[in-house]
Structure 1
Amino acid sequence: MAKLLRAALTALLMLAAPIAAHAQEPRRKVIIDDEGFALMHLMLLESDKVDVVGITTVSGNTWARRATAMALRGLEIASRPDVPVAEGATYPLLNSEVLTERWEALYGKLTWKGAWMKQWVEPTHQSTPAYYGPDDPVDLPWGNARLKASSEIAANFLIRMVHKYPGQITIVACGPLTNLALAQRLDPAFASLAGELVYMGGSLNPQQQLDNVSAAQFAREYANSPRREFNARFDPEAASIVSRSPWRKITVIPADPSTGTQLTPELVKAMTAAADPDLGTFIARMEPGFPMWDEIAAGVLLDPGMVSEAEDLYVDFNSQFGAGYGDMLSWREGYQPGLGERKARVVRKIDAARLDALMVRLMANSRK
């Protein structure tokens, strides 16, 4: 009997060992490279699967200076003053506001121009964003931060961190890829030292899946130009450099899966109720109706099982000034031109309900 008990106990310990080992797995180190502060940041900050070791800012939807102020204030609201913020590139590598105006005169109007946006071409549900200059003072409607940004510029911070933690850093980029391109040009080992790049950018052939007016209006960007997407179009040269850099692993979230998602009033209400009061107040101010572009990137990183359709493709971006400037280029194995394009896992569809549920659960973590 004693032998049987010992054998049973040994078997139980062997079964428990993998569980204990899994529980003790180190959290993945993440750097967020983005143009502000939103739900995507909160998802990663509140997850117990990742350790956000820094935020780098870049111009895109707004100027880098304003994005930095937003990130610092967001960290205060999220009670995460420990996360450093490094301000990044103010301008794209070559593209500019004047060059974009010239492009529009030749090839037609862009739907969304980010920091260069002054008015919509046609009426929309969204209000016209306030127009700022790159050096204008920042006064945020949700309060200004007491936290200060790092004195280190974003590209240098990125380089330093991948050298400090070789193979361990996952970069989640949800804005133009200017900082990453600069880091790669400064240090050719940069991309190969990172563990993974997950970025939201580009589009293949998005088809609107939801009957949502705000989302459909925003999707005018790719309705007649299916390969165009703002992050890549703002800095096409950077997007091309990053696509041809020697990353160990690349996951691309194009615009395509976002057409099956939206930030509904019900989801905002559920996250507000789940979060702690300060964070809930911040979430409650968010405008519903938009697709969840960046939240998909965070969601896929935290729960890869939500991906319902993906494809391995070689990816690049058109950096030639012409009608297709900034458009996504992609090839299946054997068709790529062989100019340095890297194979990437491109997410085509996700389980939107699973993403919604994950977001509510993560906001509840703020009460712990």
Structure 2
Amino acid sequence: MPRIDRLFSVAALTVGLLLGTTAHAETGHATATHAAAAKRKVIIDDDGFALMQAMLVESGDVDVLGLTSVSGDLWANRVTAMDLRGLELAGRSDIPVSAGATFPLVNTEAQTERWEALYGKLTWKGAWMKNWVEPTQQATPPYYGPNDPVTLAWGDPAHKPTGELAANFLIRMVHKYPGEVTIVACGPMTNLALAQRLDPQFASLAKELVYMGGSFNPRQVLDNRSAADFAREFTNSPRREFNIRFDPEAASIVSRAPWRHITVVPADPSTATQQTPELIERLAKVASPDLARLIRSLPTGFPMWDEIAAAVFLDPTLVKQHERLYVDYETQFGPSYGDTLSWREHYQPGLGEQPADVIETVDVPRMEALIERLMARSRKP
């Protein structure tokens, strides 16, 4: 496909940069100049600082313009604090953080509870999560309100967010750098939808959108109990995924916006991955002491949803299988609320759906090796 082929050509340069080599550089000065010119501008829109953000921040191929927080796994105020503190631990407090949407466009906690009473229990509800439906190896996270005070286990941030709303920051950056900004979104898409509604040029001015969200037909790949707990979520609901289900209306708005390119990293490739204790320790051992503290605090047993999105952006040659589809999301309140909708060329209803490269499988060992190299970069000479 044209999109993936284009990314493959970028990937060769990316890998060279990650390994500290640049082709056609005759002097150290030329190498530095070439590397600086090759940096790709990125905004990270997320619902909690973890490995994904650290990967992009530590990559020599990326100029992170800023982080924008959004409610999803956690409330936006908690995410903002995590982003600030995570950047401090990574030694990158120069990167601005803009606080984003606290609530979805339409969906609410009360509405979600009503939906569950009608159609069955959701496996994961993010900021609205009070308990697991059945015992799992993962602990239930503490339940907070949207305005509760924030105290982080890995220390509270000394820095403050910009004071500029996330949607406004996103709009300002794509106008400042038209055609240059990639948005890597790994949470609900409320901020992006607000930006698109505020400025109809927003999506068309960005270079591309890479997002983790949606679900097509995931299958259990790993054998252990923890992995099976999450893979079985898709047995009866293969089209449901949390980032979309938290704010389906936002996801539909973003899917119909006129992006130049869209890469979708759905739940499907994640069932072959897992944030195991062994992997966490491996990454912590090569990272800087501060970043190692953060890495060791991460929960284990979960698939590596967001890390796949960052890895595919950094090195598209990790993609083993993908498909070009038109994608949208169900916004009618009913049993399929928030489900993924998709069509091959010619079958889409023609209501503004955009074509997207949907990533189906990735090379997991190479992805883990990439993450390890990136974490090792945090040990500054």
**Does the TM-score normalized on the shorter chain lie above 0.5?**
yes
The question of 1:106 aligning with 2:118 is answered: yes
| TM-score, structure 2 as length reference | 0.91
Deviations 1:111-155 (A, max 9, x none): 100000101111111111100000000111111001100110000
Q: Does 1:256 align with 2:264?
A: no
Aligned to 1:184: 196
Q: Give 5+ residue unaligned stretches, structure 2.
A: 1-22
Q: What pairs with 1:106-255 in structure 2 (closer than 5 Å)?
A: 106-255=118-267
Aligned match of 1:366: 378
CA distance in 1, matches of 2:219, 2:109: 29
Contact map agreement 1:58 1:88 (CA 8 A) in 2: yes
More deviation in 119-128 or 300-309? Answer: 119-128
Q: Secondary structure at 2:357's aligned position in 1?
A: strand
Aligned to 1:6: none
Contact 1:112 1:221 survives alignment (8 Å):
no
Q: SS state of the match for residue 367, structure 1?
A: coil
1:223 deviates by: 2.1
State the shift of 1:351 in Å. Answer: 0.2
Report how many aligned residue pairs link the two structures: 354
Conservation of the 8 A alpha-carbon contact between 1:212 and 1:289: no
Distance (Å, rounded) in 2 between the aligned partners of 1:260 and 1:295: 13
Deviation at 1:17, TM superposition (A): 7.3
Once residues 291 and 76 of structure 1 are traced to their aligned partners in structure 2, the CA distance between those partners, rounded to angstroms, is 26
1:315 aligns with 2:327: yes
| Cα 1:118–1:332 shift into 2, 3 Å | same
Q: How much has 1:277 moved relative to structure 2?
A: 1.2
8 A Cα contact 1:111 1:220, kept in partner? no
Give 1:216 deviation, angstroms: 1.9
Q: Matches of 2:24 and 2:204 in 1, distance apart?
A: 36
Distance 2:297 2:165 in 1: 31
- Structure 1 distance, partners of 2:240, 2:203, is 25
Corresponding residue SS for 1:219: helix
Question: What is the distance in 1 between the residues matched to 2:36 and 2:190?
Answer: 36
Shift of 1:341: 0.1
Match of 1:8 in 2: none
1:92 is matched with which residue?
104
State yes or no: 1:350 paired with 2:362.
yes
Q: RMSD of the alignment, in Å?
A: 1.5
- Of residues 24, 36, 47, the one that matches 2:59 is 47
TM-score by length of 1: 0.94
| 2:344 corresponds to which of 305, 317, 332 | 332
Task: Answer yes or no: is the 8 Å Cα contact 2:66–2:95 preserved in 1.
Answer: yes
Q: Is the 8 A contact 2:47 2:186 kept in 1?
A: yes
SS at match of 2:226: helix
Paired residue type of 1:232: I
> Matched residue of 1:72: which SS?
helix
Give, in angstroms, the shift of residue 92 of structure 1: 0.3
Q: Whole-Å Cα distance in 2 between the matches of residues 101 and 284 of structure 1?
A: 33
The 1-side partners of 2:379 and 2:179 are apart by 32
User: 1:33 and 2:45 equivalent?
Assistant: yes
Whole-angstrom CA distance in 2 between matches of 1:76 and 1:22: 28
- Whole-angstrom CA distance in 1 between matches of 2:167 and 2:249: 16
Could you tell me which runs of 5 or more consecutive residues in structure 1 were left unpaired when the two chains were aligned.
Answer: 1-14
